Amino acid sequence: MSKMDNMMAILWMLHSGRKVTAKQISEKLEMNIRTVYRYMDALSASGVPIISDTGHHGGYTLLNHFIESPLVFDVEEQTALLHAAIFAEEAGYYSGEALHRATSKLRMYSNQEQERRISQHLEGLEVISPSGNPSVEPLLKKLQQSIVDELSVEIEYRASRDEQTRRRLVDPYGLVHWNHNWYVIGWCHLRKEIRNFRVERINYIIQTEITFLRPKSFSAGEFLRKGLLPEAKDQRALISLVVAGKASALDDLCQHWFLGHHFNERTSGKVTFLMEEEALHRYVPYLLLPYGKSVQVIEPISLKQKLIEVLYELIDFYQA
């Protein structure tokens, strides 16, 4: 480790509140005991109030009223950070190596009691999710750097409806992780508007020397959400979708990323959503089919008919 890392590690050990000997520090950090003395002198010279007691029961402690560094975390804070790292890795976080180094340092700088309690917390939490796509990690790192540097990127991109790829010049404003996929949101010079691009559909990225200014207060996540869930143009034209069924199934419908956005009312036996007619007939039948007999459409009648049409289409498809 670097000198700074070793000095921070020593501070972590002193933060335990118990006396720590130079021998314990040297064994914990695997360094020569004379190096420990040099680090102690350096910490004291930098203003850290270290108390040194000599004798058989001597050792080093910190002054009780020492103002803690923001980097000194208690057990709950350490556990929260490590839990967050687990969720990030399972979600396909693209800087996994740096994240692993950071969490390793966090645990290394913990005292014995903190290590025990943190291990107990971590053993009680697991996250299961679909495997990530390692091939997009280099793309994500380039995009993130371009966002920070405010440099336009040239990408070769294939939209879902296109067979051929197209080259585009994009000013990347932000990255969004949604529904197990990564999206980059930015100004598309080809379309002359802000667009979202699914990262796994990018063949390559070239960082240019063209600079841009990111719009103030722009939220990439909010832009993507509005694209997926556009606001109704006329609230008076909204149609009521009333669904009855098992409580657990209705709970799922209320929490669904699409239907939850249109939630209106919930009772013990049914739930009501309000949405535009086009969205109702285009999307809802396919969202309700996986629930089988656990839910039942009460109204509108037109949606019942649409469900029947979709089912007959599936029957015809498999019979053919």
Contact 14, 22 (CB under 8 A): no
My answer on whether 147 and 224 are in the same domain is: yes
My answer on whether 244 and 299 are in the same domain is: yes
pLDDT given at position 64: 65
Q: In what order do the strands lie in the sheet with 202-211?
A: 193-198, 181-188, 166-178, 151-157, 202-211
My answer on whether 291 and 253 are in the same domain is: yes
Say what the pTM is.
Answer: 0.65
User: DSSP class of residue 20?
Assistant: B
My answer on whether 220 and 240 are in the same domain is: no
Structure tokens, 301? 């009648």
Pairing of strands 151-157, 50-53: unpaired
Does residue 129 sit within a domain? no
pLDDT given at position 1: 65
CATH number at residue 153: 2.30.30
- CA–chain centroid gap for 197, Å, is 18
| Positions of the chain with pLDDT lower than 70, given as ranges | 1, 46-47, 64-73, 109-111, 129-134, 232-233
Does residue 48 sit within a domain? yes
CATH number at residue 25: 1.10.10.10
Peptide bond into 300 cis (omega under 30): yes
Kindly report the number of other CB atoms within 10 A of residue 179's CB atom. 7
3-class secondary-structure state, position 320: coil
3-class secondary-structure state, position 84: helix
My answer on whether 148 and 219 are in the same domain is: yes
| Domain end call among 172, 193, 228 | 228
> What does the angle CA 122 – CA 123 – CA 126 come to, to the nearest 5 degrees?
80
pLDDT given at position 86: 85
CATH number at residue 311: 3.30.70
Please give the backbone phi and psi of residue 265, each rounded to the nearest 5 degrees, phi first. Answer: -155, 145
- Quote the domain boundaries for residue 313: 235-319
Does residue 97 sit within a domain? yes
My answer on whether 112 and 197 are in the same domain is: no
Does residue 70 sit within a domain? no
My answer on whether 116 and 176 are in the same domain is: no
Does residue 69 sit within a domain? no
My answer on whether 141 and 220 are in the same domain is: yes
Does residue 212 sit within a domain? yes
Does residue 128 sit within a domain? no
- Can you name the residues that pair with 154 across neighbouring β-strands? 169, 206
pLDDT given at position 81: 87
What total number of domains does the chain contain?
4
Does residue 68 sit within a domain? no
| Domain end call among 228, 243, 271 | 228
Report the C-alpha gap between 1 and 7 in whole angstroms: 10
